Amino acid sequence: MKVILTFLFSIWGLFAPESIVVKNGDYFISQMGKLYVEDGSVLYMSKEKNEMLLKMVDPRGMFKEGKYLWIVDFDRLVRLDLSTGKYKNFFASSPKYLNDIVKYKEKYYVTDTYGNTVYKLNDEKLEVTYNLKRPNGITTDGEYLYIISFTSPAVVYKCDENKVIETYTLNEVKGGDGIVYADNMFFISGYTSKNVVIYNSSWKKIGEKNGFSSPADIYYSNGNLYVPDMKEGKIYVFKVENE
């Protein structure tokens, strides 16, 4: 089987978009802006309106559940109540570069790329769970966690709740950034290799899309793949199809 990504449209005019969450046709977008400068924001875009939900420093990965939008900033995890606009911060003891988030077995896991650490939110504190080299994007198939490294070549760490089970080296991906599991496939973006590579559940390459400038934290929804390109200021949307 070979998988192709067919371009549908782009969301443009953004300021270093890093991540997107799509719910019921509406978009939640994190814009990093300039690194370590308080010019980042989280946007909400729908057919009816566009609005800024929160000003931040460098918002990155996001996860939506119910009325809450979880957002990773460079030094904290933020839980935004979309019904009230109020938010709560959760901290680690010595974060370096918090990056992405996923929910796995009722717990939230957050990567710290330059801290070489993955945290688990426990009792409202981010506690160290794994020590890995340059962990960036994170996803789950429900049974295991999968973490992509911001290295060249990129490495995927397959983990249970306590330890690394297996590793996979992906020679096609340099500067591993986003990773998402959907429909028995893994979609991975290479920030440095400027591509998105698709693998089956046995880690055999089944598709690739090149030509990006800086693909970041990707998102899959209803057969579409969303690819933020930070340097281009756009989010590209592709239809995932079998050739």
pLDDT at 3 over 90: yes
Q: Provide the sign of the torsion angle of the four alpha carbons 129, 132, 137, 139, taken in this order.
A: negative
State the average pLDDT for the chain. Answer: 98
Residues 219 and 22: beta-carbon distance below 8 Å: yes
Q: What is the mean pLDDT of residues 212-226?
A: 98
Digit-coded pLDDT (tens) for 136-172: 999 999 999 999 999 999 999 999 999 999 999 999 9
Give the angle 100-105-107 at the CA atoms, nearest 5°: 50
Q: Would the pLDDT of 216 be above 90?
A: yes
Mean of pLDDT values over 100-127: 97
Model confidence, pTM: 0.97
Residue 33's pLDDT is what?
Answer: 95
Tens-digit pLDDT profile for residues 186-197: 999 999 999 999
What's the number of domains the chain is made of? 1
Residue 243 in this model has a pLDDT that exceeds 90 = no
Give 48's contacts (C-beta < 8 A, 6+ positions apart): none
- At 162, which CATH number? 2.120.10.30
**Type of residue at 227:** V
Task: Residue 183: give the domain boundaries.
Answer: 3-242
Query: How many angstroms separate the CA atoms of 58 and 61, rounded?
Result: 10
DSSP state of 15: S
